[in-house]
Structure formats: C-alpha cells, structure tokens
A = this chain, B = another copy of it.
C-alpha cells in the first residue's frame, strides 16, 4: 500500500457550527479526496471539538508548505484551531527502550519486519545487555546504557545524547527504569509505556504479585503516554484476560506478557497512524 499523497489533518477547537464544512471545502477546492474522517465533540454547545480527516491529494508532499499556510489562514485562524497535518508517507523514527524481558521488543520488531508498522526503527537501547542479539537479528543498532542509582543522571544524559531530537516516538517496551522529570522535559518526544496491569489498579511496582494477593479474576495491561506522574499518563489502550485461583504469580506473568505485547503493539500502531489525540489526561483514538 502506498502512502504517497495521504495527509492526516488533526484538529481541535471549541465546537461550533461550520467546522466540518470549512475543512471539507478547503480540501475539495484543492482537489483532495477525503478517504476517512472521524470527529468527536464533548458537547455540541461550546464543548471541545476534535477531528481527524484522512485525505488523498496527488503531490501533497511537494505542496505541504503552501497547503499548511493556506489552511492556517483560511480555516485554522478563523476557528481558533489547534491543528496539524501529518504526512503518511513520512516514516516516523522510533527508538525502543527495553530491559530484560523480550516479549514486547520481539513483537514490535517482528511486526515491523512484516510491514505492519510503518516506521523506521533504527535504535534499541537497554540498561542490560540481554537484548543485543534480538535487536541485531532484525538489523537494528543496539546500545547498552547501564543504570544504577549512582549513575542515573549520567545514564539519562547518555540516553538524551542517543535520543534527543532524533526521534518521533520513544517506546518503553518493558523498560524497568523510571525516567526523571528532567529527562522527560528534555527529550521532547512522545513516549509510550506499557504497564503490566489494568490501570489504575496496581499502579507502581509488582502488579502481578499484588494481583495474585488480591485474588482478582482478570489481569490486564495498559499502554499510556508517559508523564511526570508515574503510571498516570493518558491511557491509549488496555486489554485484559481472565485468570483463576490456579495461576501462580509466575503464571500471571506469562499470561500477562501476552496481553502486554499486543496492547503495546496496538498503541504504537495507532500512534504511528496519527490516530491518538490527547485531551487533558485522556486520549481520543480515532
């Protein structure tokens, strides 16, 4: 499938009549065909309005500057919009951070090799050396940046050197280190994390042990954007699986790994497809 000429217009503004008409008129006048469009309003009377419109326009990429300038002037300003156009053909650059568990990393790289993730993944970073061969067999550079309590500031500076400004997305594929607010502010890249529980249940460490102790009948996983509040960022995707009294903590971890890899995959895919809009601490997934 070719992404040439595919644009994705993301809009948020105060809801009022005429938004859809203005956007579709603008696109139509330039010969663009709307391929898919989705919208959401928290309240038609002055609530927040969100829209994702996917369109096809031959030569879009060459006309990007002109189109963006015109959209801002003709539509964006008059509705007070936050807006951007994303170009589907421009592959996003993704870095993956991982510790010692392979399941999330392996799933991402395997999907990527199959062509199911439209992105470049040129870098895997880990605080352990275990995943080096896994990264390399997919042809991905691997960097080992160990972290201890003492070396954490230096390690985060090393991470920033590797990541800073060079990526469109960082994925924490079971990266078992907490990133400092300083790092989060400096990296200036969206970060998606996979948490191994159905948040907000069992936020923090050892969720499977605590799930076992509490005797829950479902376990789950949550993919969310990372914010300064640990495990409290906007949720992109969650899923769960039934368990019984029979499962040991280890069995919960195994079952959970299957959910983690698929939940993280979906979140990354949707992000790459520009489907996820953040509104406060919630997401809209179009």
Contact = CB atoms under 8 A, between A and B. Distances in A.
A206 interface: no
A77 B242 CA distance: 37
Interface in A1-51: 16-25, 27-29, 31-41, 44
B217 A238 contact: yes
A198 interface: yes
A214 B232 CA distance: 9
Given A21-B24, A37-B39, A235-B217, A245 B285 contact: yes
A258 interface: yes
B27 A35 contact: no
Interface of A: 16-25, 27-29, 31-41, 44, 56, 102, 106, 110, 114, 116, 137, 198-202, 213-218, 220, 234-240, 244-246, 254, 258, 262, 279, 281-285
A245 B21 contact: no
B35 A28 contact: no
B39 A36 contact: yes
Nearest to A22: B28
